[in-house]
């Protein structure tokens, strides 16, 4: 079915301004809308060639507004058609004009300001915010804001990583570690019972973990979000 052409730029600017007027971050709007933060970001900056009808509905809910008004901004319906809103078959009429894209289930996870906070080594740590992501399962998953350049270009400074706790690491996996009280996000290698932590940035030297070190594997990095901070 051929869908109506939306004014992508106009609706993205409207959503951003409305969000900012409510003092919401993209992550907070993501949580309220039950959508991935990256979806919110791409809509706001006009990177989406097509916006899902149901996504607009969810975003309108997150922005505390009537979704019909957002449809009007997007160019989905005309001003004179708003009177049809109260008709029982209104949604059927709209659905006939718009190509729907099935939603993938999203999961909401907490975002922490540091590895130590996210792994529970700072007492009473609370999340900075929540974001919604497409994940195979959110059990034992948390988000952590990463500081530093050692894992660039894979993980940029101030990126958010999604870590799955209590997950066994294989060589070349990226993991989150505590080594002698210091937090690290590195690529994991193990051979002949020797653990080496590598950086993707070649300017940083490998770290060899020996038997006398206090070494804790916090979890495995399963997703990296470089573009939303």
Q: What is the pLDDT along the chain (229 residues), one digit of tens a residue?
A: 344 466 788 888 999 999 999 998 988 898 888 888 888 888 898 887 777 777 888 898 899 888 777 877 877 655 444 444 444 444 554 444 444 333 445 567 888 888 766 666 665 667 888 777 766 666 788 888 888 889 988 988 888 899 998 888 998 999 999 888 888 999 999 887 889 999 998 888 889 898 888 999 999 999 888 654 4
The structure tokens listed for 203 are 């300017």
- pTM, whole model, 2 decimals? 0.53
Q: Which residue, among 63, 129, 74, 132, has the nearest Cα to 103 in the 3D structure?
A: 132
Q: Which residue, among 218, 224, 186, 212, has the nearest Cα to 121 in the 3D structure?
A: 218
- Contact by Cβ (8 Å): 144, 161: yes
Q: Which residue, among 201, 128, 140, 132, has the nearest Cα to 168 in the 3D structure?
A: 140
């Amino acid at each position: 079915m051929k869908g109506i052409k939306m004014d992508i730029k106009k609706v993205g600017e409207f959503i951003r301004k409305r969000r900012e007027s409510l003092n919401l971050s993209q992550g907070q709007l993501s949580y309220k809308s039950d959508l991935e933060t990256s979806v919110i970001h791409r809509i706001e900056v006009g990177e989406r060639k097509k916006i899902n009808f149901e996504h607009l509905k969810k975003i309108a809910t997150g922005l505390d507004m009537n979704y019909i008004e957002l449809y009007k901004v997007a160019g989905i319906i005309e001003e004179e058609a708003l009177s049809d809103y109260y008709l029982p078959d209104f949604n059927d009429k709209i659905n006939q004009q718009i190509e729907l894209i099935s939603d993938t289930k999203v999961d909401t996870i907490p975002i922490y300001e540091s590895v130590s906070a996210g792994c529970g080594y700072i007492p009473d740590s609370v999340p900075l915010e929540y974001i919604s992501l497409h994940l195979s399962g959110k059990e034992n998953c948390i988000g952590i804001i990463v500081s530093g350049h050692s894992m660039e270009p894979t993980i940029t400074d101030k990126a958010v990583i999604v870590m799955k706790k209590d997950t066994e690491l294989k060589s070349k996996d990226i993991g989150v570690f505590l080594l002698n009280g210091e937090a690290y996000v590195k690529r994991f290698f193990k051979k002949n019972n020797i653990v080496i932590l590598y950086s993707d940035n070649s300017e940083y030297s490998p770290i060899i973990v020996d038997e006398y070190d206090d070494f804790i594997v916090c979890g495995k990095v399963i997703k990296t979000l470089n573009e939303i901070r």
